[in-house]
Amino acid sequence: MTASPIDPVKLDKLAEVAIKVGLQLQPGQDLVLTAPMAALPLVRRIVEHAYKAGAGIVQPIFADEEITLARYKYAANESFDRAPGWLYEGMAKAFSGNAARLAISGDNPMMLAGQDADKVSRANRATSMAYKPALEKITGFDINWNIVSYPNASWAKLVFPDDPEEVAVKKLADAIFAASRVDVEDPIGAWKAHNAKLKERWTWLNGNNFSALHYTGPGTDLTIGLADEHRWKGGASEAKNGITCNPNIPTEEVFTTPHARRVEGYVRSTKPLSHNGTLIENIEVRFEAGRIVSAKATKGEAVLNKVMDTDEGARRIGEVALVPHSSPISKSGVLFYNTLYDENAASHIALGQCYADCFVNGTKMSGDEIAARGGNKSLIHIDWMIGSDKIDIDGITQDGQTVPVMRKGEWA
């Protein structure tokens, strides 16, 4: 048996950061954990750190690439309009009982690339609908939750196609460890400093209380109105259950809720979007009154249009995020084909569902109150990148003044 190319010390640090920084798991708190089967070495370490932190019950739920593909090869056609609602109902019940949520990403992003696009779309829709009661506990920030990643071999070979598998896995592992700030002596201290820097940014943005952001650059002249009573966030945040967590590891963004009906102009993507096995490249869209009225892409256009037909809110945006071009993930030059990483390389927007906690007192508001302030509602939430070193962003104040926010992709 050959030794793994993944550094075991850094893998253990990642597990510790997931529990102590990502979740800040509390004594007696249960944990629902989902992961690809390939990520078992990380799952075992996370479970260990969770119980050391006093976890109640840690329950892993595994997925497997070959099992997923078997469905597309052999399942009856009607199978793709169904999802295991009982599983997601159980997860929602766990979250209602204050269980924490941890997801390990690491599946091959192109796993479903060769499958019937209609079946993929139907299966995603069925899953989105079944998962909704559990997902609402996450997007509503009822509980502490976190996502980290594991360098699965099939994902590594996609990112580093010219390297032998073992070399590709080592390179992807090292890139994940660097982005997750666990390649330093004191990762927990590094996260504390990073969260403080992100807080400075969002405190400044909240102080300015801009009514809109104006983006200009190649193929882009876009005005994004910001929701009424919006608030900027980033890094560590307090969930409704009173626990401060870092939902995304890594993270380089500060983000808020745009006004779903006040987006005007056109924008071009600056990085490919990897979505359910399809790489969507060179997206160009035009917004009128907040809605995408035309969309094209040089690759994956049919998939993009299917996504936007999911529901009424899928052609509107639910998140706007600012990331400097000089972020560590951008500097790495690696295209991860994984939104968790690629969104932290550039400023981005997300089609679909907004986050309730990006409003002042948003976690106490009803869905109707959030909608009245401009928050979007949808079954989807898909981030895609629109920032680069050629994009300028201005904040428009409530009285129409212009304040530089970013110049050539850097904080102004």
Cis upstream peptide for 250 (omega within 30°): yes
Three-state DSSP class for 359? strand
pLDDT at 1: 60
Q: Give Cα 332 distance to the centre of its chain.
A: 19
C-alpha separations of 23 from 64, 109, 198, 237 in Å:
25, 25, 18, 10
Beta pairing partners, 284: 268, 296
Residue 139 has pLDDT above 90, yes or no: no
- Residue identified by tokens 């139907």 is 122
CA-closest candidate to residue 129, choices 82, 96, 87 = 82
C-alpha separations of 106 from 34, 111, 340, 346 in Å:
11, 11, 11, 21
Where is mean pLDDT largest: 42-51, 104-113, 338-347?
42-51
Threshold 0.75, pTM exceeds: yes
Residue 277 has pLDDT above 80, yes or no: no
Q: Give Cα 403 distance to the centre of its chain.
A: 28
Q: Which CATH class name applies to 8-179?
A: alpha beta
- Residue identified by tokens 């944990």 is 31
Q: What is the pLDDT of residues 244-275, one digit of tens each?
A: 999 999 999 999 999 999 999 999 999 999 88
CA-closest candidate to residue 327, choices 372, 387, 281, 279 = 387
- Please give the average per-residue pLDDT across 214-229, as a whole number: 97
Residue 113 has pLDDT above 90, yes or no: no
> Worst-scoring range by mean pLDDT, 21-35, 80-94, 299-313?
299-313
CA-closest candidate to residue 43, choices 72, 71, 64, 68 = 64
- ∠ at Cα 326 (411, 225), nearest 5°? 45
What are the extents of the domains in the chain?
8-179, 210-230+252-411
Beta pairing partners, 268: 284
Report the percentage of the chain scoring pLDDT > 70: 100
Query: For the chain, how big is the Rg over CA atoms in Å?
Result: 20
Instruction: Give the C-alpha separation, 198 to 176, whole Å.
Output: 20
Residue 276 has pLDDT above 80, yes or no: no
